[in-house]
Homo-oligomer: A and B are copies of this chain.
Amino acid sequence: MNQKIYASIITIGDELLIGQVIDTNSSWIAQELNKIGVAVKQRVAVGDTRSDIIHALDEAKQQASIVLLTGGLGPTADDITKPLLCDYFKGKMVVHQPTLDHITHIFEQVLKRPMIERNAKQAEVPDTCTVLKNERGTAPGMLFEQDGVIFIAMPGVPHEMKWIMEHHVIPLIPKKFNTGYIQHRTLLTAGIGESFLAELIKDIEQQLPLHIKLAYLPNYGMVRLRLTAWSNDESLLEKDLDYYFSQFKTAVAPYLVTDIDQPMEVVVGNLLKEKNATLATAESCTGGYIAHLLSIHPGSSIFFKGAIVSYANIIKETILNVPHEALITVGAVSEETVLQMAKQVRELMQTDYGIAVSGIMGPGGATDEKLVGLVWVAVADKMKVQAKSFHFRFDRRRNIELTATNALNMLRGIIVENS
């Protein structure tokens, strides 16, 4: 059995250490590496400080065969990574003509702006690296090798890094290393807490062989169970994983949302597509977030028709026909209001289903009877409309996310019931 191949990810930039940006690059990289059987040993974020970057490189090459760096390759003076890599890999800086041509092309043909010296300088690379062309920008990727470890430096701009990963790094790795096979399977459950779920499946968990790991990933009132298997024998891996996966699936059946690793909105979108059904939303407290979740995925226009974000009460009245009386007596956050919103948006947009939400997301807006976190959700179909209340108790952002996920899950239940 071969050794497992490990990678280490280093992200460079002061902005990562003061929290001004959230690092989405390294999770994306980890995901892509996992798909091709490479395990990530460690992810490190360091600032634009020479000694810290060198220390991170020294550390990474002890732990991993593949070291991926992102960030620190822009045209401005705060970037120190390229000269540092030049020293670290004992090279000298030379102009890389194809890169210079590419940069010149971008300025002349795409940006239609004069190029300045700073831009041309991006074509300089250490002569000890292999240049990886960056079709999406002016800073090229660079590949170095040392003592059997490969180091790849990429710019930090996500779509540039992704392009280099997809076109250079991912195709290269299986040629350089025997990576074995890795597979993940995921079960999404709703309506049961992490500890109770653990009780439910503990017997199966105890039987798991060493090459299969189970993880609990709780989020938004749901728990995702993830099985990860690694092996050099692909057919054995499939067989083992199939066996345990179906055991777990049976055990959690009453709580199962999906056995595919998909976000809730994709599960619901696929169900709607399968049933040839359409959806519209009427959103108060989520302010368009449910519509955004649905429409961020390509192909959503097949089932998603649109939304009325009735943030102000007057919009609930004028567009969604919620009676003025109701808004005054029972209020905007009430069963009566969401029932009418769901019914009306479905009729207005002529869809099969309508979702409506209204709630108090916080920090303000609570009354004596209605606390922060109270949310009413309604789902309308052609025959009926039903509502349900939820009591969340977290912060605004989280309440918005919880409302969206639970509203979509309520719709999911009703679509399944209707079939």
CA distance A56 to B63 in the complex (A): 12
**When the two chains form the complex, which single residue of B23, B196, B295, B350 contacts A27, counting CB atoms closer than 8 Å?**
B23
**B residues within 8 A CB of A127?**
none
**Is the CB of A2 closer than 8 A to any CB of chain B?**
no
Name the contact of A198 in the complex, choosing from B118, B184, B291, B398 (C-beta under 8 A). B118
How many Å lie between the Cα of A215 and that of B18 in the bound state?
11
The interface bits of chain A over 163-203 (1 if a CB of B lies within 8 angstroms of the residue's CB, else 0) are 00000000000000000000010000000011111110010
Q: Mark A25-50, 1 if CB is under 8 A from B, else 0.
A: 01111111010000111111111100
Could you tell me the distance between the alpha carbons of A233 and B406 in the complex, rounded to whole angstroms?
Answer: 51
Chain copies in the assembled complex? 2
> With the chains together, A41 CA to B17 CA distance in Å?
7
CA distance A343 to B311 in the complex (A): 19
In-complex Cβ contact of A22 among B27, B350, B364 (8 A): B27
A310–B306 contact, CB under 8 A? Answer: yes
Among A21, A205, A281, A296, which residue has the most Cβ atoms of chain B within 10 A?
A296
Residues on A lying within 8 angstroms of B by beta carbon are: 13-24, 26-32, 34, 39-48, 52, 56, 59, 74-78, 111, 113, 116, 118-119, 157-159, 184, 193-199, 202, 205, 213-219, 224, 226, 228, 261, 281, 283, 286-292, 294-296, 298-301, 304-312, 314-315, 318-319, 348-350, 362-364, 394-398, 400
A-B contact pairs, 26 of them (CB 8 A): A14-B228, A15-B217, A16-B27, A17-B43, A18-B228, A19-B30, A19-B31, A20-B31, A21-B219, A22-B27, A41-B52, A42-B56, A48-B215, A75-B194, A76-B197, A76-B198, A77-B198, A78-B213, A113-B193, A119-B195, A159-B395, A281-B309, A287-B288, A287-B295, A287-B296, A296-B400
